[in-house]
Each structure stands twice: as C-alpha cells, then as structure tokens.
Amino acid sequence: MRSRLFGMRLPLAIFVLTVLAFVMVGSIIMQLTLMSNLVDANWLCLREKFLKLNFPKSWHAEKGSIDRNGTVYIVNLFSDDYKTILHFEFYSEEATRSFMENNNLTQVSSVPEFDAREVYSWVSRQNSNATYDVISVDPDLSNFIENWASVRGYKVYCFFIRIRNAYTINNVSHNATGLFLSSMIDQKLIKVIFYGEESSWSENQEKFRKILNSTEIFMDKWYV
C-alpha cells in the first residue's frame, strides 16, 4: 500500500501542500539522505546554507526551492505516520514583496490567518462537510512560541485552527489541527506551518517543540 497523508496518496499530498504554500511552479522536492548526520540514536541534523535543525530519525525530510519573483526555500518534515507535517518557508526580499502584494497583505501579522484560510478553502472543496474553527492557542504552547521567538529576537505571529471533518477514510471522518506562524526578519518572510490529523498533531507536539528549539536561521547566508 502506498503511503498516504490526510487521506491522499502521498505524492498528491506533497503537491497540494506546496501549492498551498505558494510554491506551485517549478518546485523541486528532494528526498534527503541524512543518516550521516546523526545527532544521537533517534535524531538527525538537517543542515542547509540558511538553516540548521534537528528532527526525529523516524520522520521524513524533503527540501525544495522555487525562483519565481524571488526565491522561496522549502523544508518539509513528515511524521513517521505521514499524518502530520511541519512545513517551513523562507522568502527572499523580492519573493516577500511579491507574496504580500499579490495577496493584498500589508502586515506580516495577517499572513498566518491568510494561510489558514487557504488551507481550509482547499479542504472544503474536497469535503463539503468540513467546518472551520478558530481556536485559542494553548497557554503553554503560546508561552513556548513567545519564548522561542524572544530568545532569537523575532516577532512571531500565530493563528490556530481546527477543521472538523477535514477528510474521510473508510467512511470515518477525521479532524485536522493547524498552527500557522509567520515572522519578518530583515524584510524576509518566514512561515512555519504545523498541520495534521488531530490526534497525530497532539501526539507530535512535543517533537514540534524540540525541532523548533533546535532551529537556527543564518540570515547572512540567505539570498536577497
């Protein structure tokens, strides 16, 4: 049986997620071979010119980029059951301007809600029974994000949603949870999306925190 993500065959799911991330044309997603970068018995290290992070060895990592009105770098981390994704996007200055202008956004604080509504729009086209709830971020998770951003000198904005009846497998409906983050550093947009089937999302929340805590962004290596 082929792997599936959110009820879709995995290749389609990867395509959909990159479409939702506005990296539609020409994106090159590459499976990474990282066993030589073991942090310990259970975690690997992903090193890119602009990014370094650790993630569970049982997870699946992919990267890509697109040059379209500027450059957008993409890193996808899939949980071992392919039910949750941690998705990073790093925009050059030109790509940032293009994204904001093309979507009539004037503030980076509006980006998380915009992305969340785009995800829901796609889901609702696949399942007319899907409903969308904006939910409050758990105080403990909210404090974690604030502390993570503060230590690094970032201003981070977040938006938290639950999509009920997001998809159906074997006549069983599943909910999805999504946490959408954005920040602007030196006029360059960063997005982080942590999205997945509700129970898988909850089970992987501690891993999400550990991954985010390990993340280093190298601004001097980032293309302009």
178: exposed, middle or buried (Cβ count in 10 Å: 0-12, 13-18, 19+): buried
Domains of the chain: 4-221 (3.40.1000.10)
Longest dimension (CA), the chain: 50
**pLDDT for the residue numbered 34:** 53
Determine the angle formed by the axes of helices 111-126 and 10-20, rounding to 10 degrees. Answer: 140
* DSSP 8-class letter at 24: -
Partners of residue 135 on adjacent β-strands: none
Give, for all 224 residues of the chain, the pLDDT tens digit: 344 444 444 434 544 454 444 333 333 344 445 555 766 778 989 888 888 999 998 998 888 888 878 988 889 999 988 889 999 999 999 999 999 999 999 999 999 999 999 999 888 888 889 999 998 888 899 999 999 999 988 899 999 999 999 888 788 888 999 999 999 988 999 999 999 999 999 999 999 999 999 999 886 655 54
The DSSP secondary-structure symbol of 82 reads S
For 32, which DSSP code?
A: -
Coil, strand or helix at 59: coil
Q: What is the pTM of this model?
A: 0.83
